[in-house]
Amino acid sequence: MEVTLAAFQISGGVILFLFALTMIFGEGKPASEKGMIKDYRHVTIFPVAIPSIASPGAIMAVVLLTDNHIYTIKEQLITTALVFFVVMITMVILLGANTVQKRIGAYGITVISTVMGLILASYAVQSILTGVRDFFAMTH
């Protein structure tokens, strides 16, 4: 298929930008769709966490840092431990999110969501710009 990492960065950036727009300007799901949800314990959306952990760049970094021909087993174990550490920190933050939500209330969540949407939009645009730059650097 010959899809480059730059193409993944650009497409990931566009998708993240669309998520960011819904965070900044309004609700992500229409009211009719929300009414169909019966059990909210099984509804999870982490638009910032998941792309940051498992973005194409992060996946490529782990793949490159665990190359058997370049890195020793010890270095690969260090990479694995660091990835596990980041996932554990993220888990603790996400598990504590409900407590934070109860303390700051609905208005606080709206403000934080808007600010995080702006940060996510900036991250998305940076991902697109980096992908475009890398694409043109490969063609020269």
pLDDT in tens, 15-51: 888 888 988 887 655 555 555 656 555 555 545 445 5
Per-residue pLDDT tens digits for 57-92: 677 677 777 888 888 999 999 999 998 998 899 889
- What average pLDDT does the segment 91-102 reach? 87
Question: What's the angle, vertex CA 32, arms to CA 28 and CA 33, rounded to 5?
Answer: 55
What predicted TM-score, i.e. pTM, was given to this entire model?
Answer: 0.57
Amino acid at position 124, single letter: A
Which residue, chain included where needed, has tokens 């690969």?
76
Domain range for 125 is 5-139
The pLDDT value given to residue 73: 93
* Count of structural domains, the chain: 1
Q: What own/partner pairs with CB < 8 Å and gap ≥ 24 does 13-17 have?
A: 13/124, 13/125, 13/126, 13/127, 13/128, 13/131, 14/124, 14/128, 15/51, 15/124, 16/47, 16/51, 16/120, 16/121, 16/123, 16/124, 16/127, 17/121, 17/124, 17/125, 17/128
The pLDDT value given to residue 125: 93
Residue 54, number of CB atoms within 10 A of its CB: 12
The pLDDT value given to residue 75: 92
